[in-house]
């Protein structure tokens, strides 16, 4: 499967993630325990990866699977980071609207670029660094609140808690993504075997989170497995399915592409999110939001386009020796 096909699917699913989560709310809150959604999504990814791994093992030769403890012990680390990140996402959406949530998520590309350089030793060109900074400017522009039709008491259009949670979510996402790419590419193990390890630990840590919540509440509502599906409806199940499928697509990109492709794919999702928010939530996009999206699109083109399409390169001039050597031949032919 081509990476751009996977990236396009990721764009569509990511754009609907915030909208589905918002639709699953009731009176600004959740009737269900939102900590159960990441847990069920991890179980879904584990089951799907196990089925594909089983199918691979029926082939000859069987897939490569490193079972050394020194390798396996590295897989709980991204699970812990993703556990925190998934729950921060829900907290963010209680303070900001879906378009703001999606645009703030693009801050992850800045931290991803930095972590690329620091930890994965990936070198980016000057144009690519400029594109990353341009994306940061675009996301900032989209957050500026106009002073014509509303009060200017606050520079931000949403509560400061929402922006803090959004920034934390972006940093955690970049950190987890870069580390996961390191795990995926450090050997030639089967993608599905690597996924099974990731999602096994992910399920365990999310289960631990649910158990800790029970102890904090003194089991007032009973153990987590008895209320696992309380408050669930069709929209909530779509959130679980969306989150799980998105995770599978991301793992594919980590194995066969890189974090920058993944992050830019999710940044494109903000365009679709804005359109759907206008239709579903009567969201009124501001001029600043449109300007921010245009700047982000320019950043996207600047990062991935060949340098020759961005700057006018000087024409190649033939060496003097070649020009001189061609003159006698032409004269000889004329004679």
For residue 332, tell me if it sits in a domain: no
For residue 327, tell me if it sits in a domain: no
Please count the CA atoms within 13 angstroms of the CA of 319 that sit on its side-chain side: 3
Number of structural domains in the chain: 1
The structure tokens listed for 55 are 């199918």
For residue 333, tell me if it sits in a domain: no
For residue 232, tell me if it sits in a domain: yes
Contact 290, 35 (CB under 8 A): no
What is the end-to-end Cα distance of the chain in Å, rounded?
A: 61
For residue 323, tell me if it sits in a domain: no
Domain that includes residue 100, residue range = 3-24+34-305
CA distances from residue 24 to 11, 20, 280, 292 in whole angstroms, order as listed: 20, 6, 13, 28
Examine residue 61 and say whether the peptide bond preceding it is cis (omega within 30 degrees of 0). yes
* Dihedral sign computed on CA atoms, order 164, 170, 173, 177: negative
For residue 326, tell me if it sits in a domain: no
Question: What pLDDT shows up at residue 330?
Answer: 45
The structure tokens listed for 153 are 């008491």
For residue 334, tell me if it sits in a domain: no
Report d(CA 113, CA 249) in Å as an integer: 21
For residue 310, tell me if it sits in a domain: no
Q: Which residues of the chain have pLDDT under 50?
A: 149-155, 323-335
Question: What pLDDT shows up at residue 299?
Answer: 87
Report d(CA 310, CA 299) in Å as an integer: 12
Give tens-digit pLDDT for 82-120. Answer: 778 877 887 888 888 766 776 677 677 788 888 888 888
Q: What are phi and psi of 29, to 5 degrees?
A: -140, 180
């Amino acid at each position: 499967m081509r990476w751009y096909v996977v990236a396009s699917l990721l764009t569509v699913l990511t754009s609907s993630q915030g909208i589905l989560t918002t639709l699953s709310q009731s009176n600004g809150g959740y009737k269900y325990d939102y900590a159960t959604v990441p847990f069920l999504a991890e179980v879904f990814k584990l089951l799907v990866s196990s089925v594909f791994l089983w199918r691979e093992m029926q082939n000859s030769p069987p897939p490569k699977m490193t079972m050394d403890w020194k390798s396996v012990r590295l897989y709980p680390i991204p699970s812990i980071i993703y556990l925190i990140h998934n729950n921060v996402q829900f907290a963010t959406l209680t303070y900001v609207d879906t378009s703001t949530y999606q645009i703030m998520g693009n801050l992850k590309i800045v931290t991803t670029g930095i972590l690329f350089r620091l930890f994965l030793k990936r070198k980016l060109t000057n144009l690519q660094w400029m594109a990353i900074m341009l994306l940061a400017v675009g996301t900032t522009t989209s957050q500026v609140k106009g002073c014509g039709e509303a009060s200017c008491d606050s520079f931000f259009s949403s509560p400061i808690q929402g922006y803090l949670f959004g920034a934390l979510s972006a940093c955690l996402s970049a950190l987890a993504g870069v580390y996961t790419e390191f795990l995926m590419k450090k050997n030639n193990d089967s993608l599905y075997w690597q996924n099974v390890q990731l999602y096994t630990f992910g399920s365990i840590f999310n289960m631990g989170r649910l158990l800790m919540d029970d102890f904090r509440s003194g089991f007032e509502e009973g153990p987590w497995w008895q209320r696992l599906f309380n408050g669930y409806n069709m929209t909530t199940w779509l959130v679980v399915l969306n989150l799980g499928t998105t995770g599978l697509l991301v793992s594919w990109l980590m194995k066969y592409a890189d974090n920058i492709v993944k992050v830019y794919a999710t940044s494109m999702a903000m365009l679709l999110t804005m359109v759907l928010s206008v239709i579903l939530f009567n969201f009124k996009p501001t001029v600043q939001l449109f300007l921010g999206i245009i700047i982000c699109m320019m950043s996207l083109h600047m990062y991935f386009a060949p340098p020759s399409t961005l700057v006018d390169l000087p024409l190649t001039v033939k060496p003097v020796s070649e020009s001189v050597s061609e003159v006698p031949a032409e004269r000889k032919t004329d004679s």
